[in-house]
Amino acid sequence: MIIVLFGPPGSGKGTQAKLLAERYGVPHISTGDILRENIKNETELGLKAKTYMDKGELVPDDVLIGLIKDRLSQSDGASGFLLDGYPRTLPQAETLSKILSELGKSLDVVLNIDVPAEKLLNRLAGRRMCVCGASYHISFNKPKQAGICDLCGSKLYHRDDDKEEAIMNRLDVYKNQTQPLIDHYTQAGVMLTINGAADIVVVFNEICRMLDDFGHV
Ligand code: ADP
Ligand code: ADP
Ligand code: ZN
């Protein structure tokens, strides 16, 4: 099953995707994680993306298109995947549908994680990330040992774009460029909206219940 995790920055896409990937045994494909990995490795793509990401702006499509095409074509996604952070614009939704149809696949569900805007700043400002892609929160999802990843033992870091100015910009970008996709996917009949304001496990159980009702992943 091919699932897109959709929602504003801080809604819990990455958190839920990690849990869902484990439960259903499908890969979690996050464009943000792939871009950060490229920045860490100082690739050409990473260098191009960094200036946009630090400011909280979208990375241009021509930088992303090769990356997304390659990743979705890999064999680990043969029986499905969880796509987190893509698409974020209408042209990206069109690109995705084209790539999937070239692969003989189609999108099954877009999970819209709905969280009131006033909660997002706090979630993002308190987020702590690990290089392995795990994310924590200083109040809502603390690691067992402060500042250290439960999964791999690495030191957690505060993303540059999780500081207030970039957060405000990202929330604007979401509102102007990404939110319109809700109508697009609702009209396509693939949208499922989840209340993402509850605790992490409550949201996870609700998503699993909806997916199990919907069909097998
Ligand atoms: P996204 O990938 O949508 O930007 P994340 O999954 O990284 O969001 O979550 C953003 C921050 O909020 C993280 O610090 C995470 O631990 C925390 N978080 C995620 N889901 C919840 C929730 N249901 N309640 C409280 N905090 C949450
Ligand atoms: P969050 O879930 O907190 O919004 P992500 O890790 O998904 O953050 O994305 C971080 C940044 O990476 C975005 O602000 C943007 O600069 C870039 N990015 C990720 N996915 C895309 C995309 N589909 N299109 C353009 N830029 C992207
Ligand atoms: Zn880790």
CB 180 within 8 A of CB 90: yes
Q: What residues are annotated to the active site?
A: 13, 88, 127, 159, 170
Q: Which ligand is nearest to the CA of 62?
A: 2
Q: Which tens digits make up the pLDDT trace of 61-120? A: 999 999 999 999 999 999 999 999 999 999 999 999 999 999 999 999 999 999 999 999
Amino acid at 217: V
For residue 32, what are the contacts with CB-CB under 8 A and spacing of at least 6?
14, 84, 85
Measure the CA–CA gap between 143 and 153, rounded to whole angstroms: 10
What mean pLDDT do residues 206-213 have?
93
What is the atom index within ligand 2 of the atom nearest the CA of 170?
Answer: 14
Q: Which tens digits make up the pLDDT trace of 23-33? A: 999 999 999 99
Residue 99, CB-side half-sphere exposure with 13 Å CA sphere: 21
Q: Ligand 1 centroid vs 98 CA: distance in angstroms?
A: 30
pLDDT at position 24: 93
pLDDT at residue 209 tops 70: yes
Domain ranges of the chain: 2-26+79-116+171-214
Q: Which tens digits make up the pLDDT trace of 196-207? A: 999 999 999 999
Measure the CA–CA gap between 113 and 147, rounded to whole angstroms: 27
pLDDT at position 58: 98
pLDDT at residue 217 tops 80: no
Q: Which tens digits make up the pLDDT trace of 124-140? A: 999 999 988 899 999 99
What is the number of other CB atoms lying within 10 angstroms of the CB of residue 157?
12
Q: Which tens digits make up the pLDDT trace of 1-23? A: 999 999 999 999 999 999 999 99
Strands (E), the chain: 2-6, 28-30, 81-84, 109-114, 127-129, 135-137, 191-195
pLDDT at residue 216 tops 60: no
Give ligand 1 pocket residues (Cβ under 6 A): 7, 9-15, 123, 126-127, 135-137, 140-141, 196, 199-200, 203
What mean pLDDT do residues 147-151 have?
97
> In terms of Cα–Cα distance, which of 100, 102, 120 is closest to 110?
100
Q: Ligand 1 centroid vs 14 CA: distance in angstroms?
A: 7
Residue 60, CB-side half-sphere exposure with 13 Å CA sphere: 6
Tokens coding 37: 């990995």
pLDDT at position 31: 97
What CATH number should be reported for the domain whose range is 2-26+79-116+171-214? 3.40.50.300
pLDDT at position 213: 86
Q: Which tens digits make up the pLDDT trace of 172-186? A: 999 999 999 999 999
pLDDT at position 183: 97
What mean pLDDT do residues 186-213 have?
96
Q: Ligand 2 centroid vs 31 CA: distance in angstroms?
A: 6
Tokens coding 191: 């949208």
Q: DSSP secondary structure string, 172-187?
A: HHIIIIITTHHHHHHH
